[in-house]
Amino acid sequence: MTADDNRAESVSSPESAKIPLIIAKNLTKTYMMGKNPVNALRGVSLTLYKGEFVAIMGPSGSGKSTFMNLIGCLDQPTSGSVILNGAETAKMTSDQLAATRSAFIGFVFQGFHLLQRITALRNVELPMVYQGISQKDREQKAQKYLEIVGLGQRAQHRPIELSGGQQQRVAIARALINNPVILLADEPTGNLDSRTSMEIMALFQALNRRGLTIALVTHEPDIAAYAGRHIAFHDGKIIQDEVNTTPRNAAAELQQRIHESQAEKK
């Protein structure tokens, strides 16, 4: 296997990269800690384009998770604006924000946030429960997405019966169930070992090749290396925004590791 074999192909054509999906303009976010203001974001402007796989990096307290919450309609900026798929979120009511999250955004977090008493299938179904979709249709769709993430045979297992990587795959299937236009992943490999992290990144790259836009928050350079664009935050500002022309190929690296493991056992 050559070095080039471990590089992932860019999925974003020049044309697709010109279609804005999220436009952030002069975002600020100030929190009050007692009587003291804390400026989490200090005038951040950024455009994310359809079909991108973006890694958002920075140390704790840099503003990266605050930015993710704002573009994910989980919070509102102190000033500035977020335009998601052509609509300005600051002008939306709380119900409209909730509807926007449901229709356009899938979330994956470091903690899997699965309900432990129900099966993987039922966990994936949850976003559809209040949409008037019949139980049969919910089950069929949830099974389909479990198969997409490689867990079709584990649908009836509860989270406690699954590994950490499998639980994260269930969480990803749940995030995909409403066909979002963007997947926001906040430290999705933070609780996983290196091989399992590689498996999750291979899944993300496969989803991205199918056209899903992904924004991934991470403080790990090795994980960011799988993305096609790197954005670094520090003290509430963007200090770096560059294209990664040679992202690592997680699937190829995983296959290589498997071969090496098998060779060691011989």
pLDDT at residue 23 in the model: 97
Residue 3 has pLDDT above 50, yes or no: no
- Within 8 A by CB and 6+ apart from 237, the residues are 41, 42, 43, 44, 63
- The one-character DSSP state at 188 is T
The size of the chain, in residues, is 266
Mean pLDDT of 2-10: 50
Residue 7 has pLDDT above 60, yes or no: no
Determine contact, residues 204/189, Cβ cutoff 8 Å: no
What is the number of other CB atoms lying within 10 angstroms of the CB of residue 58?
23
Range in 50-59, 83-92, 205-214, 218-227 with the lowest mean pLDDT: 83-92
pLDDT band of 50, cuts 50, 70, 90: very high
| Domain map (residue ranges) of the chain | 11-265
Range in 14-23, 134-143, 144-153, 212-221 with the lowest mean pLDDT: 14-23
pLDDT at residue 184 in the model: 97
Helix or strand holding residue 26 (H, E): strand 20-33
**For 121-156, b where at least 16 C-beta lie within 10 A, e where not — what string?**
bbbbbebbeeeeeeeeebbebbbebbebbbbeebbe
Distances in whole angstroms, Cα of residue 180 to Cα of each of 12, 83, 244: 17, 16, 24
Residue 5 has pLDDT above 60, yes or no: no
Is 0.85 topped by the overall pTM? yes
Range in 3-7, 41-45, 101-105 with the lowest mean pLDDT: 3-7
pLDDT at residue 90 in the model: 86
- Going edge to edge, which strands form the sheet with 229-234? 105-109, 182-186, 213-218, 53-57, 229-234, 237-243
pLDDT at residue 238 in the model: 97
> Which architecture, in CATH terms, is 11-265?
3-Layer(aba) Sandwich (3.40)
Per-residue model confidence as pLDDT tens digits over 67-97: 999 999 999 999 999 999 889 998 899 999 9
Per-residue model confidence as pLDDT tens digits over 157-215: 999 999 999 999 999 999 999 999 999 999 999 989 999 999 999 999 999 999 999 99
Distance of CA 174 to the CA centre of its chain: 12
Burial of 260 (0-12, 13-18, 19+ CB in 10 A): exposed
Q: What is the rounded average pLDDT for all residues in the chain?
A: 91
Closest C-alpha to 175, from 211, 205, 139, 212: 212
Strand residues in 187-235 grouped as ranges (E): 213-218, 229-234
Mean pLDDT of 88-110: 91
- The one-character DSSP state at 225 is T
pLDDT at residue 82 in the model: 96
**For 61-85, b where at least 16 C-beta lie within 10 A, e where not — what string?**
ebbbbbbbbbbbbebebeebbbbbe
